[in-house]
Amino acid sequence: MNNTFKSTKVVYLGFNSMLKHKRGVENVIDFQSKASSSSINYYIHWDNKTEVYHYNHFLCIGIKNNFFRFIVLNWFLLKIKKKEKSLLIHSHNTLMSMMSLFQTHLFTVHDALYYQTKSMNHKLKSVFYFLELFLYKRTRFVHFISNYTKKMSLYSKKNNFIIIPNTSYLEGFNNNTKKDNNEIVKFNPDATKVFLVRSIEERACIDLVIQVATQLKETNFEFLIAGKGPLYDIYNSQIKKLNLTNIKLLGYVSDSNLIDYYSDCDLVLMPAAYGEGFGLPIIEGYLFNKPVIASNKCAIPEVIYSPDFLFENTVESIIEKLNFIKTNLKGDYKEYYANNFSNLYVMNKFNVLYKSLV
């Protein structure tokens, strides 16, 4: 290991406090930092006040999200730049990368900016088109989490990018991990237990799952859905109005409790309409050695164990795959995870990448 790499600190640009919102991108950043040679790295994020605090192997800097936030961001970056001999800026935050005085060395694209806004028919999608192009101009190297994300992006260079998949933060958890105090809703032990982890929004196709549950209410299939989002109350009301007892929305479920649901379920279901740059619940299902059926959309075919486990976004197709999976539960799903998405596999990829960028 060369001396430059040993002395290099990574500055991660993210969104939320590690202390308040550690889910999604925060978990990804926490994991990526383990590929750095430094025992302490920096993490900068937006917050409701400006403060500096320690979290595990990070010196975290929360910046109050107001009119002056970009001035404060650059003030901190200048101070860090002055203090450290060698810095690598790894960003997940588009606005921070665009407004920073310093070029971003590595930018991680979870979902391409223009593609997402176009899919939602955002009224400012044309603005996001130019913002995404500007972002790539300000970035030295780009990391995509899937081939699909790269394809949907506006990144036009034939080099200076890499595709490294996501891994699961839950790999470090075990059944002895302290659970959240919220009571866990238990599956019916006699049911075929179907588990979903989705943001409760339009692209997650929860309405389609409700239709499936309605069709299967006289069977032994049971659906538990972990997640929150803007359509939670609407779908919850719909379930109650239909008097369905075989489907439940759980709301927010802590990481420590997710392992119980993954461990207890028979299979994982992942519907998606658009905007799915990877499909984390798929590989988390495999981590717990569970079969997964999922939409034949976006990046999902890249991640899925076999094309046999893909469905079209219709009630009939989902029910067909649910019945198919009842007789095809067994498989080397955990080994598939280990070979393609494990913490060790992904960390080694990032370690090589960081060395090349330094």
Position 2 scores a pLDDT of 64
* Residues near 123 by beta carbon (within 8 Å), at least 6 away in sequence: none
CB neighbour class for 120 (10 Å; exposed up to 12, middle 13-18, buried from 19): middle
C-beta separation of 224 from 245 below 8 A: no
Residue 182 has pLDDT above 80, yes or no: no
User: 320 and 223, same structural domain?
Assistant: yes
49-58 contacts, C-beta under 8 A, 24 or more apart: 53/19, 55/18, 55/19, 56/18, 56/30, 57/33, 58/12, 58/18, 58/30, 58/33
The answer to whether residue 313 scores a pLDDT higher than 60 is yes
Q: Are residues 282 and 353 in the same domain?
A: no
The reply to whether 94 and 195 lie within a common domain is no
Mean pLDDT (the chain, rounded)? 93
Reported for 95-103, long-range contacts at CB under 8 A and 24+ positions apart, including other chains, are 95/70, 96/13, 96/44, 97/13, 97/135, 97/138, 97/139, 98/131, 98/134, 98/135, 98/138, 99/70, 99/73, 99/74, 100/13, 100/73, 100/74, 100/138, 101/74, 101/77, 102/77, 103/138, 103/139, 103/140
Residue 180 has pLDDT above 70, yes or no: no
Contact predicate 143/153, CB 8 Å: no
Which phi and psi (to 5°) does residue 316 adopt?
-65, -45
Mean pLDDT, to the nearest integer, of 241-257? 93
Q: How far apart, in whole angstroms, are the C-alpha atoms of residue 210 and residue 76? A: 48
Is a pLDDT exceeding 80 seen at residue 224? yes
What total of structural domains would you count in the chain? 2
Domain enclosing residue 232, as ranges: 172-340
Tokens of 195: 């588990």
- Residue recorded with tokens 């549950």: 213
Q: Quick one: the chain helix, strand, coil %, rounded to 5?
A: 40, 20, 35
CATH number at residue 207: 3.40.50.2000
Domain match, 336 and 197 both: yes
Is residue 128 domain-shared with residue 259, that is, in the same domain? no
Determine the Cα–Cα distance for residues 164 and 53; give it in Å rounded to an integer.
Answer: 30
Residues 346 and 335 in one domain: no
pLDDT at residue number 59:
97
Cα–Cα separations (whole angstroms), residue 43 to 52, 136, 141, 145, 355: 10, 21, 19, 20, 19
Same domain, 23 and 142: yes
pLDDT digits (tens, 9 = 90+) for 93-104: 999 999 999 999
335 and 225 housed in the same domain: yes
- Rounded average pLDDT over 24-48: 93
Same domain, 71 and 102: yes
DSSP letters of 37-56? S-S-EEEEEEESS-EEEEET
Digit-coded pLDDT (tens) for 75-99: 999 999 999 989 999 999 999 999 9
Task: Say if residue 33 is in the same domain as residue 111.
Answer: yes
Together in a domain, 237 and 223 = yes
- Residue pair 141/105 in contact by the 8 Å Cβ criterion: yes
